[in-house]
Amino acid sequence: MRWCHSSLLHLLCCLRLRVCTRKCRVRLPVRLRELWPYVKLVLQSLQYNSLTNSDVVFDSVFEPVFWTVDRITRWFGMVFVCLVVVLTSSILLICYTILLPLVISTYSPGWVVWHLCYGHWNLVMIVFHYYKATKTAPGYPPIVKNDIPFVSVCKKCIIPKPARTHHCGICNRCILKMDHHCPWLNNCVGHLNQRYFFCFCLAMALGCMYCSISGRNLFLDAYNTLELLLMLFSSSKTNYQTASPPYTFRDRMVHKSIIYMWVLTSTVAVALGGLTIWHAVLISRGETSIERHINFKETKRLAKRGKVYKNPFNYGKFNNWKVFLGVQKKSHWLTRVLLPSGHAPPGDGLTWDIFPFKRDTLPV
């Protein structure tokens, strides 16, 4: 028994010595052992931020997606502009070669004059405002040192940002009173060209509605004619004695052109009309698309505290429209709204009156 007990103790001592020897072999150097707690603390500090919320996490996770979309939009900007020009030119070609001769030959002189005046006024408004919206810079904050008040510093441009200024990832710079980046303009919509953008959307929506309503009967006739041609063509394959359709190639192309025009203008009228109405609502509230989301969040945040948030740039619906359109006297409703005008918006886009006023400021 003594032998067994001593042997067992000897065996345990050997095993302990062997384990300790192995531990000594894998033990890290003293300097690394002192550095490791510091590295752990740094890694943990990178994961902690008192300002972290769901929006920050969402932006961080989808940053590669945003980067890809920004690059694609920047590369294909001119493609979208060319697409707008080509589609609009195709509709104009159909209107001048097909619809205009029908209007002159079938309508009364009064209706012919109305169609000619309204159609060409609408066309001038579309071309003028689209050109100005694409070629006019939206407005940029100064990059040199100045005394202009600012609300924050851009994390990407590293320059002071005045009120209502936001950074555009596609243009890669800050934009004054930024609304959004429009790929169909290949340009940002900001302080200096927002009026051109809205007037273009309104004129294009009205023009598409005009073509859609005016060409409705022509569309129905062309659609029924093509449907009849398809029926005759299918029956001619089964019955060789059936006479060929009396329509020529030109007639078929005319019918297809009318169908193409009506489908395209109706689709654009619905889509662009909804966008125009939405921007009209934002203008009435004195805010941009970006500010709409910011104001919504601020309203919810203050509501939890029992407070009411008021937009500091809302001057009342009528005054908001006058400031947006640059109307300073009654004659401007004709010269600056109903007719093409290249006047600059009021203000410099760097400082804003943050004291809302509800009274009518239009001089009498």
Active site residues: 182
Cα–Cα dist 152/198, whole Å: 28
Please work out, in degrees rounded to the nearest 5, the angle formed at the alpha carbon of residue 37 by the alpha carbons of 33 and 38.
Answer: 110
Q: Please, are residues 181 and 171 in contact by the beta-carbon 8 Å criterion?
A: yes
Instruction: At 326, list the tokens.
Output: 């640059």
Helix, coil or strand: residue 310: coil
Q: Which residues contact 330 (CB under 8 A, 6 or more apart)?
A: 362
Tell me which residue of 207, 209, 180, 196 sits closest to 130, measured CA to CA.
Answer: 196
Cα–Cα dist 291/210, whole Å: 33
Q: Which residues contact 169 (CB under 8 A, 6 or more apart)?
A: 66, 67, 70
- What is the per-residue burial (b if ≥16 Cβ within 10 Å, else e) of 232-243? eeeeeeeeeeee
Q: Please, are residues 164 and 292 in contact by the beta-carbon 8 Å criterion?
A: no
Cα–Cα dist 270/263, whole Å: 11
Q: Is 347 left (phi over 0), alpha (psi -120 to 50) or beta?
A: left
Tell me which residue of 203, 190, 191, 188 sits closest to 127, measured CA to CA.
Answer: 203
Q: Which residues contact 184 (CB under 8 A, 6 or more apart)?
A: 80, 81, 84
Cα–Cα dist 81/84, whole Å: 5
Name the helix (H) or strand (E) containing 189: strand 187-189
- Alpha helices by DSSP H, 136-157: none
